[in-house]
Structure 1
């Protein structure tokens, strides 16, 4: 596997793990707040506060679940060692000055002063790139760009 591509995967995995740790801490804090609130409150104000915290907890748990799924997908794609001949899942593509990893939609990561956008194959640009080869053109948002690198 290309060294730069390996660093992109390592950076993205580290970023997801950090986010997972932060979400776990936030989840713990919300649960503690719910339990503490049960001891000290009564009435409508209590019910409203508890409902808000429960919704926050559900949101956090959904984000944790999505983060775990994204992490598993990155690990799976990271095991692909071959350089693809066409853009496919796991491919690292350079368009202009920017790099795109067709993997999971987690956004921007910085690797060696380069911007790398992680996106799903089902994203609008991901769908345009799938199956294309190096030096082919794509027209995205009225702008034509050439696939300069495919790793």
Structure 2
């Protein structure tokens, strides 16, 4: 049986890996776009060439914005202290409810560890907003379902 603190540590590591993978994917996209911009030679169809370059510039800008967002997520995530045993739900909390279990950190989807299914969610998600500041025994209503917080780690 895995301890609660070890489970929380593994969840934290999983989310960190998720952030790193996302960061690398965006970096690779930017590098590919840069390469395309530098390797594209002016063709005899000048307008077509300029349109292609403009599209690549837009893609690079979009990827740059994504990179900026993931850097903000990474910075906020680095401030999570998983050693805390909170009395109220906050960033880094592991929350068990009568319906589902949540790790309040980043939106990384469903995570399976042994016999545990936990959803990594951002505190900015609709369910995250409802959970923040609550404590054991509190009840929330989400999508017409009633949840009671049973364990808070």
TM-score, length basis structure 1: 0.87
Report SS of the residue matched to 1:93: strand
**CA-to-partner distance for each residue in 1:83-127, whole Å, 9 max, x for gaps?**
1011122211122453222223x2314241544333332322122
Seen in structure 2, the aligned counterparts of structure 1 residues 116 and 57 have a Cα distance that, compared at 3 Å, is: farther
Q: Select the residue among 43, 54, 61 that pairs with 1:51.
A: 54
- SS of 2:103 mapped into structure 1: strand
1:127-138 matches, cutoff 5 A: 127-138=129-140
- Written as runs of structure 1 = structure 2, the 5 A alignment for 1:1-151 is 2-37=5-40, 39-41=41-43, 42-77=45-80, 79-96=81-98, 98-104=100-106, 106-113=107-114, 114-151=116-153
- Aligned counterparts of 1:107 and 1:12: Cα–Cα separation in 2: 7
Question: Which segments of 5 or more consecutive residues in structure 1 lack a partner in the other structure?
Answer: none
**Greater alpha carbon shift after TM alignment, 110-119 vs 129-138:** 110-119
SS of equivalent residue, structure 2 residue 18: helix
Count residues with an aligned counterpart: 148
The 3-state SS of whatever aligns with 2:89 is: coil
Q: Deviations over 1:41-91 (max 9, x none)?
A: 3511111111111111111111111111111211111x3521101112221
**Does the Cα contact within 8 Å between 2:18 and 2:108 map onto a contact in 1?**
no
Q: What secondary structure sits across from 2:150 in the alignment?
A: strand
CA distance, structure 2, for counterparts of residue 34 and residue 116 of structure 1: 42
Give SS of 1:61's match: helix
